[in-house]
Amino acid sequence: MQTLHIIKIGGSIANSDRRLTTFLKNFSGMDTPKIVVHGGGTAATDLCNKLGIPVRMKEGRRITDKPALDVAVMVYAGLINKTIVAKLQSLSCNALGLSGADLNMIPAQKRQHPRVDYGFVGDVQPEDINTYFIRRLLDEQVVPVFPAITHDGKGQLLNTNADTIASALTIALTKYYHTHLTYCFEKPGVLLDVEDDDSWIRQIDREKYDRLKDQGVINEGMIPKLDTAFEALRREVNSVHIKHVDNLLNDKGTELTL
Amino acid sequence: MQTLHIIKIGGSIANSDRRLTTFLKNFSGMDTPKIVVHGGGTAATDLCNKLGIPVRMKEGRRITDKPALDVAVMVYAGLINKTIVAKLQSLSCNALGLSGADLNMIPAQKRQHPRVDYGFVGDVQPEDINTYFIRRLLDEQVVPVFPAITHDGKGQLLNTNADTIASALTIALTKYYHTHLTYCFEKPGVLLDVEDDDSWIRQIDREKYDRLKDQGVINEGMIPKLDTAFEALRREVNSVHIKHVDNLLNDKGTELTL
């Protein structure tokens, strides 16, 4: 089986043209089939602010109403996705932007919750991902670039967590490739002290994760990311790393193990 | 050779959800390989207005500065493109949104002009279009959906006239298919009296076009559209029609002949 790298980059990387360009140079040099998944982070919030669209939160989670969805589609599937694709093309990397609606790649379910209406938010299952075209494209040396947008198959676009898309895609492709999933962000890995970038740990297994979580050591924002990351490992993804975007090509960062 | 339909729709069609849905139902029922090209029209101008981005004109043409380009990419390649793709998917039409940067489909040249800097505007040549992946995708029953965005191959996205993209794509594919190009908009065809929708003409050849243009009968906004349309005919496209979007499947509208 061939090796496949799936790299998820945090949306805030796209805020810095220099950092994004450096990342894409490193990424385009990777000599295996590869996929990028990206969020939109602060750019969507900035545009919402400029347009006077209030950011609505419920139980700590963002509600995606129609105006917020339109902004997410414009920023993630539009501006950030096409900026990445054009930059990769300039690096001789044959990129193709693919929302979950394109080629019906990632069908999602609008989130159902007994108390909270999250709005136009989609949840994805690895089993629903249409890997046929992804594999055909990878065979043609194409590099798929996925924004955090899916659809329900009935004409509705949905906002979907980029970490979850990366994990679900990797799980779905593990049948066909030796898969390596890397979450890149702006910290050097899982930190023992959120204030200290030198406190990153080299390895974390499920037991240690549960212990650190119980002790309140692991930062709250990291918990959903680590949950999806461990789920990928449990579903036989070959490796999962969490690292700083600048360390894509070296071995600094946190490796997850079962 | 197979028949291929390339349909260009005006951006303002996307302003009406009902009209867009009707068009896409008609379009998805067409039983040949097919391509949509769309603009963004008033939606981009509306967003520019909301964001306080001035619309800059020079010699009657819009200047695309960086903020205006970002809006065009968000609206054309993001919101409108993905809305069309998701709606087509709900109609069992396997749509794929493709800016000119995706798969390096449409390389363009930033417009050079001795006096006017048009900003991030790209001009395209049929010879530069990469038809390989378009043909592969059409063979797989995929329906490409092109927004009016291209790139220069050096990492820069460019705003490009959708009529020109439709014409250039059709010319480039005429080597491989019996091509039929249709410009759909919100008038029933070429009008002899711009105020009277019943004044559309069934057929117009180059000579009649030149005569009507000299007489000032043909509306100014129609001239670039008709010029690219006649260029397509001259370059051996099998047929070119200009018609109302609601008449996609019937024979009402203006047929161009040489």
Q: What is the ipTM of this complex?
A: 0.96
Interatomic CA distance for residues B99 and A203, integer angstroms = 41
For A38: left if phi > 0, alpha if psi spans -120 to 50, otherwise beta; the answer is beta
* Structure-token pair, residue A104: 């019906």
Q: Is B216 annotated as a binding residue?
A: no
pLDDT band with cut points at 50, 70 and 90 for residue A40: confident
Instruction: Return binding residues of A for substrate.
Output: 40-41, 62, 159
Lowest mean pLDDT of A196-200, A252-256, B43-47, name the range. B43-47
Averaged pLDDT, B148-156? 98
Class of A2-257 in CATH:
alpha beta
Give the model's pLDDT for residue B42. Answer: 83
Residue B1, min C-alpha distance to chain A (Å): 25
Lowest mean pLDDT of A63-67, B127-131, B138-142, name the range. A63-67
Give the model's pLDDT for residue A60. Answer: 66
* Residues within 8 A of A (CB atoms), B 74-93 only: 74-79, 81-83, 85-87, 89-90
Measured in degrees and rounded to the nearest 5, phi and psi for residue A174 equal: -70, -20
Nearest to A161 by CA among A225, A93, A222, A91: A225
CB contact under 8 A, B86 and A156: yes
Q: Is B62 annotated as a binding residue?
A: yes
- The secondary element (H helix, E strand) that includes residue A164 is helix A162-173
A79-135: pLDDT as tens digits: 999 999 999 999 999 999 999 999 999 999 999 988 888 999 999 999 999 999 999
Of the partner residues A50, A73, A142, the one whose CB lies closest to the CB of residue B79: A73
A146-191: pLDDT as tens digits: 999 999 999 999 999 999 999 999 999 999 999 999 999 999 999 9
The DSSP secondary-structure symbol of B75 reads I
* Residues within 8 A of A (CB atoms), B 39-78 only: 50-51, 70, 73-78
Of the partner residues B85, B133, B157, the one whose CB lies closest to the CB of residue A82: B157
CB B99 within 8 A of CB B77: yes
